[in-house]
Chain A
Amino acid sequence: MLLIRCPFCGSRNESEFMYGGPAAVRRPSNAAEVSSREWVEYLAVPSNPLGPALERWWHARGCGSWVTIERNTATHEITESSDGD
């Protein structure tokens, strides 16, 4: 049970959040123009690092904020929290 810091609500249990995927993945802003390869990479080739990883969580049973954290996937240590970017 991770303890995730929400910028509005403070440190809260993981069970209040829903996981929202890796933050490193950004939807191409020009979706109509990017190459098919770039589009498929955005959709289906997630980064899955062992170590620090930026990821998003939604404070579903709280204030509804999308929170971006840096979590070490090997130790679960959370080194950074922010209210998105």
Chain B
Amino acid sequence: MATDSHRMESGGRIDRSNPIKFQFNGKNYTGYSGDTLASALLANNVHLTARSFKYHRPRGIISAGCEEPGTLVELLEENSSGNRAITSVRIEDGLKAKSVNCWPSPDFDLGGINQFLADLLPAGFYYKTFMWPNWRLYEPLIRRAAGLAGAPASPPTKVKFESRHAHVDVLVVGAGPAGLLAALHAGRSGSRVMLVDENSEAGGALLNRKVRIGGESSLGWVSSVVDELAAMKNVMHIQSATAWGIREHNLVLVLERRLKEPGELLRNWRVRAARTVVATGSTERSLVFANNDRPGVMLSSAAQSYVNRYAVIPGRKALIFTNNSSAFSVAADLMNAGIEIAAIVDSRREVQDADRSHLNGIEILPGSVVSEAHGHRRVNGATVSERSESGRRRRIDCDLLLHSGGWNPTVNLFSQSRGDLRFDDCLAAFVPVDSGQAVMCAGAANGRMTIPEAIADGAKTGIRAAIESGYPGKSSALPEVDEDSYSVEALWHVEPRSRRNKCFVDFLNDVTVEDIRLALREGYRNVEQVKRYTTGGMGFDQGKTGNINIVGTIAQERGLPLSEFSTTTFRSPYTPVEFGSIGGTRSDTVFLPYRHTPVTSWNTAQGAVMYEAGARWRRPGYFPKPGETMQEAVSRESRAVRAGVGVYDGSPLGKFELKGRDAAKLLDFVYTNFMSDLAPGHGRYGMMLSDDGLIFDDGVVFCLSKSRFLVTTSTANAETVNRHLEFILQIERPEWDIKLTAVTSQWSNATICGPKAREVVRSLETDIDLDTEKFPFMAWRKGRVAGIDARIFRVSFTGELSFEINVASRDFDRLWNKIIEKGSTYGIEPVGSEANHVLRTEKGFLSLGHEVDGTVDPYDLGMGWIMSKKKPDFIGRRSVELRRQGSETRRELVGLLPDDPDKAIPEGAPLTPGGRKTRTEGFVSACVWSVVKERWIALALLERGRERMGQIAHARVQEEIIQAKIVSPCFHDSEGQRLRS
């Protein structure tokens, strides 16, 4: 081994024939295929990789896996992605990354000044200091100073997003020893198995440790299992795939990061599994002592991983601090790699002979702790103290300080599935008990911490999962495994000599033991409260390595056993997930498609500005001519309807056909007025309420024949009305004989409106008698129009004479073109939804979402006449009556004329008494330039509006007050002569 290199000449799971160049914080480095960003940087002897969140202390790499609490990076340019753990980014040629928390670089950090202000930044500091006038004022500044990566300015060009579904009998999460055996046994039973694992290759903990299984190196055994799984057609095995969330009924979300030239494919799987086996292993936890955050202070298993898996020498002289037996095999592996072991400091008073056995000549200090790490930008030694009365201290030099606080079963997924946990005193950790759903843990995740136990537990669980999902489970002989043991004695933190020395329980959020104590002193008692007050465990790492120390410290401070406490709630995502992978290829209109009528292409060819008309329907807003402003175009279209003729496409209106003996009964039940007396050929306007007595929808009902009706609804409400009617038919009145069919898309309609409408319809050639005596307002006729089978309805949404010509959608563009062709003689204009809004406002016709906003009843709108007095019951009646008995002040529909006729009031503007900044008494629901009044007019809902006719209302628009006279809400043809003409 060359002394200047931190990479061993052989060994590890890297490909030395494939060097990879990458950039970190603006400097160029080289690593190998198989490296993570962390292992490649350590191989280049880069230890100072970040600055901390609050105090901007120098930080390094703490772990070797997704639990990393030390360094977050942002991937740049074509790989852009924010806030990734440095340990889970695989390097590739040209990768550019920077640490997220420091500017301009971790070596020189302006924010480091916070270290000297540390006493001013205790737990809850933000809450206490930034309360006045409100937190939102400060939040953006604080977030910027905290410097988490922002959302990328543009999507990563080298990354493709995809999402997929999978349905399996058994989903196994984790391809360590337990997961492999679970998948193997479930697979052999014939069940459909999916095996996912977050590492780039299978093996789990075996990748980091040197163990023998079945008489060979453990990785040889792993590859033979992987081969057997690959040969089974019923097994799907993917690596680099993290199960990051589990939802109800075993929907497991898995993010696969598949290398794909060039770049990466991020594929989010939604896996529905009959049984889920959580074999996610265990996570090493940190020990808490003064300055435990210095670069070069690392989890002991991380060093083992860097040495064995990546052939990296993370330091020349290691001091190991542990409270459990696992660190001893780490020491052995490090010695094999030529690293000097300064000493093993063990907080336990007794160290087993088995642990000592392979560590000849190494100094072991039982009953001792590391009380402080030394060095600033890199650890250079530590103070070791005896736990005895004497408390003797000595300094030991090192350039690598490893610590192991024991192991936590990785129960995140299990806990997300609503599984219960209990504190196990023997393991000093929370272990799974019962799951709320078909989720079972296996191996270390189940508290089986040694490899022989994990293997047996994995096989057993795989068989159980197969049987429970309906397959015959067969057991088979298990491989021989080396002896392995695990013992631990809890140590939640080491008391520092001075309270000014920081002992971190959460590295990412800079939370110390003192912060926990402060929170307890200030009255926060339980884990959830302390977590929120201190932000401990709320970082990107979700406290995978440190939360237990927070719980332990709280328990210790309060003098209670840990079994009295629980962990905080584990939430998804387990590790950060790109939004792009959740959406996959579904974006824009692919995510939520638009609905089009048959004349969209005609509309766009005319230069129409297209709007969404509700329920994703595309409709023209207005048809500007060259050089015309929007207002000019809207007024021109409106004038055409008032003075000549216009036509609009009303196809998106919701339409339902009701058929059956009891259809009329249903109509009487859901509408406020009588419908059952409608004769064939006739129609009626109606209002539907919900049972809370508020208007839910309005529309027109036509009687097609004695037991057949056509019901129209507002565009946006069609589905809700469908649901409402089906509820009555299926649940409330199942005995009624009625069939309901949605026919919105079956029928398209062109509404010809204006004084010349009749002439235009005649010119189309029709066998329907259009004479108003024969075909009055609110009637409908069947016949042929322009050679097409049609139904004509005489309704009016504009206040003018109108003919709504309904034809089968397939015939609609033929009809439309004919209307435009024949209508041109009469100066017909296509009319968009803006002009429709002007025309209905002039007439005071209601619009859902404007006047009908879910807070009004018919009386509020001056339409009490529509409430039948004769029907004993209809939906909403009882509630309207109850409300009307009270003395509540209601908002009523009125018209408004701004004092200045050229002054518009923004729609939605609040009305307040005298225009003062006080409680509103209403709002402006519509305001348009009226072509009949030639001034701005408005509709509004105003408290006691009808008593206040002729008085002045005041709209408050920021600092301006607009005065308007209160008038009747109808500005045009209040007798209704024109629409009946």
Residue numbers of A with Cβ under 8 A of B are 1-3, 14, 18, 20, 27, 30-32, 36, 39-40, 42-43, 56, 58, 60, 64-66, 74-78, 84-85
Contacts and interface: CB of A to CB of B under 8 A. Distances in A.
Contacts of B258: none
A65 B251 contact: no
B249 interface: yes
A43 B878 CA distance: 11
B723 interface: yes
Given A2-B248, A27-B732, A58 B691 contact: no
Given A27-B732, A39-B878, A43-B691, A76 B723 contact: no
B877 A1 contact: no
B734 interface: yes
Top 4 closest pairs, chain A to chain B, by CB: A3-B249, A76-B248, A75-B436, A66-B730
A43 B692 contact: yes
A20 B418 CA distance: 25
B247 A1 contact: yes
B691 to A, nearest CB: 6
Contact of A39 (B437, B732, B879): B879
Given A3-B249, A43-B692, A76-B249, A31 B873 contact: yes
Contacts of A58: 723, 726-727
30 contacts: A1-B248, A2-B249, A3-B249, A3-B251, A3-B272, A14-B248, A20-B723, A27-B691, A31-B877, A31-B878, A32-B872, A36-B882, A39-B878, A39-B879, A42-B691, A43-B691, A43-B879, A56-B731, A60-B723, A64-B726, A66-B726, A66-B731, A74-B436, A75-B418, A75-B437, A76-B248, A76-B436, A84-B730, A84-B731, A84-B734
Nearest to B692: A43
B654 to A, nearest CB: 14
B722 interface: yes
Contacts of B734: 84
Count class of interface residues, chain B:
20 to 34
Given A43-B691, A76-B437, 17 more contacts: A1-B247, A1-B251, A18-B723, A27-B691, A31-B877, A31-B878, A32-B873, A32-B878, A39-B878, A43-B879, A60-B723, A66-B727, A66-B730, A66-B731, A75-B437, A76-B418, A77-B437
B719 interface: yes
A26 B44 CA distance: 71
B434 to A, nearest CB: 10
Nearest to A18: B723
Contacts of A43: 691-692, 879
A32 B691 CA distance: 12
Contacts of B247: 1
Given A39-B878, A58-B727, A84-B731, A64 B437 contact: no
Of B247, B437, B726, B731, the most chain A CB neighbours within 10 A belong to B731
Interface string B932-964: 000000000000000000000000000000000
B656 to A, nearest CB: 12
Nearest to A21: B727
A85 B200 CA distance: 53
Nearest to A34: B878
A31 B882 CA distance: 12
Nearest to B690: A43
A66 B436 CA distance: 27
A73 B918 CA distance: 43
Contacts of B727: 20, 56, 58, 66
Contacts of A66: 726-727, 730-731
A1 B873 CA distance: 39
A58 B418 CA distance: 27
Contacts of A56: 727, 731
A65 B726 CA distance: 8
Contacts of A76: 248-249, 418, 436-437
Nearest to B251: A1
A85 B727 CA distance: 12
B723 A65 contact: no
Contacts of B877: 31-32
B249 A64 contact: no
Nearest to B435: A75
B473 to A, nearest CB: 24
A30 B877 CA distance: 12
A65 B723 CA distance: 9
A1 B723 contact: no
Interface string B259-293: 00000000000101000000000000000000000
Interface in B688-742: 691-692, 719, 722-723, 726-727, 730-732, 734
Contacts of B731: 56, 66, 84-85
Interface string B546-568: 00000000000000000000000
Contacts of B882: 36, 39-40
A36 B878 CA distance: 9
Given A43-B691, A60-B723, A1 B249 contact: yes
Interface string B862-886: 0000000000110001110010000
Contact of B719 (A39, A42, A60): A60
Nearest to B727: A66
B602 to A, nearest CB: 30
A30 B873 CA distance: 8
Interface in B46-86: none
Nearest to B876: A31
A43 B877 CA distance: 13
Contact of B730 (A31, A42, A65): A65
Nearest to B165: A13
Nearest to A44: B692
Interface in B232-252: 247-249, 251
Nearest to B726: A64
A25 to B, nearest CB: 10
A64 B878 contact: no
Of A3, A14, A66, the most chain B CB neighbours within 10 A belong to A66
Interface in B427-480: 436-437
Contacts of B691: 27, 42-43
B168 to A, nearest CB: 14
